[in-house]
Structure 1
């Protein structure tokens, strides 16, 4: 074997070793941290959207207008749609932030995401896919240890024992 081939093979082994080390380091990221980041970031997206629909405790005329003209959801009146969206975009993010009923909240917001993607803005699938990834993670694996869900489940388990 010539020197160039040996050097290339040694470099390949070093690169493989470094990639394996990096993978091991990434494997050390705790799920609880990943879940917390997913919960907080997706909650922020929906909370901000909800804030655009309200002034104080009232749904804005702009929100009604958007539901009448741009969103045009089938089978739902613009008045009901605007109220339901404003309510959901405030309630479920708060529940995600505190980690209470996280899986249910994630599924509710995932449902909203699907409606938005399919019926309102189908061309925005990369953004909606990112939202769906966060929500699916929480729905599938739960909220992690930094949540009220975790505290409550521990309390229920000790009472059951």
Structure 2
């Protein structure tokens, strides 16, 4: 173990040294745990949103109506936008859960989040910022060892 990150507090330590020891301990939280929580939690958010847009295998009329009246995305037909959103909100979360193509899936959903923030709900930036942190954690650090990406990279001799 690295001596800089030891969890034992100095014997002469008071409250300050104990807090410092605790802060160093936070650095021991494994990225695999953080990435797994990020992948699963953000996948659930988008999956649940996707479920509101479909009835079985069909995009609902209500979803198309929302894209016509409330979302009003520029440059794209509401029918096409509803179908693309329903697909993306099911496909990319599924990939995140199994950890396959995780960085690209996170990037795709981050792009979708930016579109939502800029064109649909600009006042929801605290929520979208929280989502972005999950995506950026996956993009920057990878999906962790509990993923198909990791197994594939080990098979081919590369780290994820």
TM-score (norm 2): 0.89
Partner SS for 1:22: helix
Structure 1 unaligned spans of 5+: 1-12
Query: Counterpart in 2 of 1:109?
Result: 109
Query: Counterpart in 1 of 2:10?
Result: none
Structure 2 unaligned spans of 5+: 1-12
Deviation at 1:132, TM superposition (A): 0.3
Query: Counterpart in 2 of 1:134?
Result: 134
Counterpart CA distance in 2 for 1:14 and 1:118 is 49
Alignment size in residue pairs: 146
Partner SS for 1:157: coil
Deviation at 1:121, TM superposition (A): 0.1
Larger radius of gyration: 1
Counterpart CA distance in 2 for 1:106 and 1:15 is 41
Ranges of 4+ aligned residues in structure 1 off by more than 4 Å: none
Counterpart CA distance in 1 for 2:80 and 2:151 is 35
Query: Counterpart in 1 of 2:73?
Result: 73
Asked if 1:14 is matched to 2:7, the reply is: no
Partner SS for 1:83: helix
Query: Counterpart in 2 of 1:122?
Result: 122
